[in-house]
Structure 1
């Protein structure tokens, strides 16, 4: 690509950004580094619409600053994170706030030393928050670059090099956001809208975009879970998870299904990471193990997962 072609492509991208990008998103209307960081963490595994409408504003209402988040208990953070999944993100967010209550560092190198912050998140904070001229590569941008430069099975390292070379140093923040939105709105995984893409002129892979994007196949594992609901004095029995994806959160006790077949309230399906779960819920009177009692009227604010919420909803329906 000649220098003239590069400039033309960059200008076309920025012109599209001005008229068509998602400028209404709340984390794009703020210069608050913490708010931008929070949005990046939430968006890692959750749809933009859900983060924008529900989780982002609710979280900031309770914890508007890093300092306020640093003073919260992990249980409080988990309760607000319920439904977002991937709870390690919440734990890392909380740990980072405790390390940096007065503000996040302003270099990628220092940011990557913090819990849960990798190269992408560090670059995003520097670009979108601190307005630095650094490239950013997320899933959407990676797909755009691979197609634009016609790279098959391109490695992450090469994608970052492409991003660096293609970066518009004079408008780096807008350039990165434009590429991100282009991947989300135009250069989509399936059926990309090449006819309205601002980069169509210089795109080398436009004739066969599918060739330059291969989604990784997820191998799902089927698994059964058996959980007990035990109610006493308007409280429900819970245990604190010591490992796995729900570590440090409260969950319903597990039990041996064959001993409680007659008390099964029902089953439901639940998907998380690479697991496809079939969850059995039982109503029992005695657990015979160390448990934590949680008042029924405080379940909504307890640090529980969406899986546990579904199980409790099944119980509520059974006694309604």
Structure 2
């Protein structure tokens, strides 16, 4: 095995690897459904969903329903984009769904096994490719997400080191016998113990050999997220139990159905609510729309929630129903 740091014997690294796996056996999140399958498509779907969504929401609200509707790559690739977007509705970052759909069309039977081939597919970058290689194909590769990067930075005292150094150390640290379990364990360690603030060092299996434990706070970049305030105005037109929706051409919800935009008129004001989207904090105001344009689609209120509507529109409809 390679030596990760000058003066760090291979025996210490092996002990750290073993301690990590013992910890994972006892405390790891073994209940996650994507950890109990070798189906590359199922693992791929989970990785894309988890990029911007909490584990609990993915596991309980989206992952099983999505796979029930599209159980295979072929089924997903054969579906219409509107069906895929409807199944994704509420998860946000809809380019993820479009990339999933595009990849399924390119790879209707299975996904490739090499990083070089994987990163050529829509929406698959270095992390997702390595996750597929490790978790689906059990290859000995390093995997670096936000949680693992934090563990690697602290464990090897990689203060202000480049991403390439972090990836190289993660690659060299991988357990040669149990690479998949090793990467899953690192992920859980970063999520449950090696926290961004107030890390639980006394509970960490890597505590004895951690190079940065005395200054753990230095190994996580803290950047205050800056949000941009927006104010949007939408109109609601109802006719015989149907609501007028339009296909969005904007950058946020392109291709999804949403309420038509309107110029605000005080006497038509209905209500307002707050909504968040990536870097935006949005105040949404809804108004009565008396004469919708000819290009609207009339969708029954009963069917609207199952259509490919934006999360903002879904929230507006809930608000409308009270």
TM-score (norm 2): 0.95
Residues 1:19 and 2:26 aligned together: yes
- Alignment match of 2:118 (pick from 89, 98, 111): 111
User: Matched residues in 1 for 2:39 and 2:252: separation?
Assistant: 30
- Alignment match of 1:3 (pick from 6, 10, 13): 10
Number of residue pairs matched? 315
Residues 1:292 and 2:297 aligned together: yes
Equivalent residues of 1:135, 1:167 under 8 A apart:
yes
Q: CA deviation at 1:289?
A: 4.8
Residues 1:248 and 2:233 aligned together: no
Equivalent residues of 1:265, 1:314 under 8 A apart:
no
Q: What per-residue deviation string (whole Å, max 9, x for no partner) do you get for residues 227-256 of structure 1?
A: 011112322111111231211111111111
SS of 1:93 mapped into structure 2: helix
- Counterpart position of 1:308: 313
- Alignment match of 2:141 (pick from 134, 138, 141): 134
- Counterpart position of 2:171: 164
Equivalent residues of 1:32, 1:129 under 8 A apart:
yes
User: Matched residues in 1 for 2:292 and 2:231: separation?
Assistant: 20
Equivalent residues of 2:158, 2:166 under 8 A apart:
no
Residues 1:272 and 2:277 aligned together: yes
Q: CA RMSD in A?
A: 1.1
- Counterpart position of 1:65: 72
Q: What per-residue deviation string (whole Å, max 9, x for no partner) do you get for residues 200-227 of structure 1?
A: 0011111121111113321100010000
Q: What per-residue deviation string (whole Å, max 9, x for no partner) do you get for residues 124-170 of structure 1?
A: 00100011111100000000001111122232111101111211122
- Alignment match of 1:97 (pick from 90, 97, 104): 104
Q: CA deviation at 1:64?
A: 0.8
Equivalent residues of 1:194, 1:200 under 8 A apart:
yes
Q: CA deviation at 1:23?
A: 1.0
SS of 2:207 mapped into structure 1: coil
